[in-house]
Amino acid sequence: MLPPYWVRRLVLLPLMLVISVFAVVTAPATLLLAALIGLLIPGQRGRPYRLTVLVTGYLAAEGVALVVLGYLWVACGFGRRVREPKHERRHYVCVRAFLRWIFWLVNHALHVQVRVDGPELEAYRDKPLIVFCRHAGPGDSFLLVHALMNWYDREPRIVLKDTMQWDPAIDIVLNRLPTRFIRSGAPGKATVDPEKGPDAEQLIGELARKLDGNDALVLFPEGGNFTARRRARAIAKLRRRGLMAEAAKAEAMRYVLPPRPAGVLAVLDNAPEADVVWVAHTGTDHLLTVTDIWGALPVAVDLKMRWWQVPAGSVPGGREQRIAWLYEWWRQIDDWITVNRVAEGQREAA
């Protein structure tokens, strides 16, 4: 359950600042201790040191981001002009820098390499985009937004779970930018008013309106990270609702959850001028738990991404046609993952 606004601002924010300062001040000692543990305990292979570098680097970035966001709040008239284009651009610059640092940190601490296959940058230039991405593995949403902002020079509008607001920096900056937080566990309601507020579909549709040439609306149609258990539950739910054709299609797909059409339809209805980009990725989808991540360290991860672009004029019209089109693309994404997913034996040998 997400804490109320005042708790997040008066408790979580100062607590995170204290933790960030403490992490930076004690970094030399904690890094030395982690390195010694890795040397003295057999079989650790540098895991404690690498994980400590990652956590310390993230906390340092969090603290810097909170200070910068405080300055930006004052600069925009103590929040009064935060929605003006000039101040919105400044917040996007802050997010770009934060994501560049996290991406560099992950690459160097965990040896993650990313390979992207798809249209060249020129294919997207000056076109509003709708980006539908699969959701699996740790940090895939960070990677996607980093790619959009730092590789494709986009200003993303994001639909994500309200639990992301536990992180003070994410909470503050995304509440100042075009974003919709959807209440977890209740697809039909949004965080604006869990009892009487507009439903998620309406909020997502509002976010999709009036996209300009450097915007990209980001939606994860599965609604959550892929796991085998979630896949089984989602298929069972489709059957209970009498959607037997969709359940059969979902059962034929091994590595994705069945997509939720409502949000996708809301976006397509409200942004008919936008090209659609489908994104698949694989390489970290086997890292489902903290134990999985710990066991994988410090093995290098080769993360592959595939982007497909569909011109706005090629998007089908009509609800049923669009749902069938969504499932067909989701099957294609699953086929791509099946071919490119690293087999268990290959991961162990890497």
pLDDT of residue 48: 86
pLDDT of residue 189: 38
Phi, psi of 102 (to 5 degrees): -60, -40
- Strand 275-282 and strand 301-310: pairing? antiparallel
pLDDT of residue 349: 45
> Rounded to an integer, what distance in angstroms lies between the CA atom of residue 324 and that of residue 315?
12
Inter-CA distances, 142 with 101, 102, 170, 233, Å: 12, 9, 11, 26
Res 348 pLDDT > 90 = no
SS3 61: helix
CA 164, 170, 173: angle at the middle one, nearest 5? 135
SS3 310: strand
pLDDT of residue 137: 72
Inter-CA distances, 80 with 5, 27, 76, 84, Å: 18, 37, 6, 9
DSSP H helical segments within the chain, as ranges?
A: 5-7, 13-25, 27-40, 47-75, 85-110, 140-146, 168-176, 200-208, 228-240, 244-251, 261-270, 290-296, 319-340, 344-349
What total number of domains does the chain contain? Answer: 1
SS3 161: strand
More confident site: 188 or 243? 243
Torsion sign across C-alpha atoms 322, 325, 327, 329: negative
**Which of 119-128, 222-231, 265-274, 284-293 has maximum average pLDDT?**
265-274
Q: Which residues contact 316 (CB under 8 A, 6 or more apart)?
A: 322, 324, 325
Average pLDDT, the chain: 88
pLDDT in tens, 166-191: 999 999 999 999 999 987 654 433 43
- 140-143: long-range contacts, CB 8 A cutoff, minimum separation 24: 140/281, 140/284, 141/220, 142/99, 142/102, 142/103, 143/103, 143/114, 143/281, 143/303, 143/305
Contact status, residue 242 vs residue 236, Cβ threshold 8 Å? no
**Which of 96-110, 206-220, 278-292 has maximum average pLDDT?**
206-220
Structure-block tokens of residue 7? 């708790």
Res 341 pLDDT > 90 = no
- Structural domain including 160 reads 5-349
Residue 281 pairs in a beta bridge with 305
Q: For residue 266, which of 328, 331, 334, 198 has the smallest C-alpha distance?
A: 198
In SS3 terms, 187-239 reads as CCCECCCCCCCCCHHHHHHHHHCCCCCCEEEEECCCCCCCCHHHHHHHHHHHH
CB atoms within 10 A of CB 6: 8
pLDDT in tens, 142-166: 999 999 999 999 999 999 889 999 9
Res 213 pLDDT > 90 = yes
Range scoring the smallest mean pLDDT among 50-59, 106-115, 147-156, 293-302: 293-302
Predicted confidence band at 288 (pLDDT cuts at 50, 70, 90)?
Answer: low
Predicted confidence band at 323 (pLDDT cuts at 50, 70, 90)?
Answer: very high
Cβ-count burial of 154 within 10 angstroms (0-12 exposed, 13-18 middle, 19+ buried)?
A: buried
Q: For residue 290, which of 40, 51, 5 has the smallest C-alpha distance?
A: 51
Contact status, residue 162 vs residue 183, Cβ threshold 8 Å? yes
